[in-house]
Amino acid sequence: MTFKVGTWNLQLPVAEKRRSAMRLHTDQENADVWVLTETHDGFSPGHEFHHSSLPGRDGKNGPEHRWVTIWSKHRLEKLETTDGKRTVAVRVTPSNSAPYLVYGTVLPWKGDNWEGNPSAGGFAFKKALETQLQDWKALQKAYPTDEFFLLGDFNQDLVSKPRYYGSLSNRQALEAALEDAGLIAITGEANDPIRRDSYPCACIDHICVKTDSQWVMDVTNRWPNRTTPDRSLSDHFGVAAILSRAGA
């Protein structure tokens, strides 16, 4: 039994031509769950169930723009998060397997003064991370037997030299937060499909699972198949992972 999760920053897909080109990739990937960031209500990967962050992007752009939307092939239940603008959480209930939690995020980038916190020195990044960490821990405490998947645009690489984006300080903060929440990124270092296949680029959009997850990573991949992102689509690669049940 396998399970596929994917994430992609769509960089505000307003034009129908661009949406159609993106849909070719999401159709090909056919993930069970998508966490799409910087997205638009007009774009769908074809799944029936979804839940989005608040309309607009921090009050900017139109109400159809969203920082995060989670799409699922299976029924989902909305869960509350502390930052309703840049995060989304759901509980997915498949008909033939146990429910699981999905948390979608966009963490601050360089120069982003999140919620009035200055970006200098990674202060905004770390403040947002602290806020989200409490969500990750609280949701796992509320649903202790559920698997937990954390995906989205972290705006931070998790590879050794050469660094691609972010800072060493922010990387250390992110890794510490993941460890505190009992999570691990399966798109870092040797498992980073972008660093592997599109060197020297690297993932800043990540997929994280519980360290004691019953799902183990089979393979990670990225698209499009280029050395750099296809900027006619997005300035980000898409990233996905296929997981299988441990011992299955």
Q: Walk along the chain (248 residues) and give the pLDDT tens digit of each residue.
A: 899 999 999 999 999 999 999 999 999 999 999 999 999 999 999 999 999 999 998 878 889 999 999 999 999 999 999 999 999 999 999 988 899 999 999 999 999 999 999 999 999 999 999 999 999 999 999 999 999 999 999 999 999 989 999 999 999 999 999 999 999 999 999 999 999 999 999 999 999 999 999 999 999 999 999 999 999 999 999 999 999 987 65
What does the CA dihedral 226, 44, 66, 202 come to, rounded to 10 degrees?
-20
pTM over 0.85: yes
What is the domain extent for residue 238?
2-245
Query: Mind giving me the DSSP string for 164-184?
Result: -SS-HHHHHHHHHHHHHTTEE
CATH number at residue 199: 3.60.10.10
Domain count, the chain: 1
CA gap 143, 92 in Å, rounded: 12
Q: How far is CA 199 from CA 34, 162, 170, 195, 202, in A?
A: 25, 10, 21, 5, 7
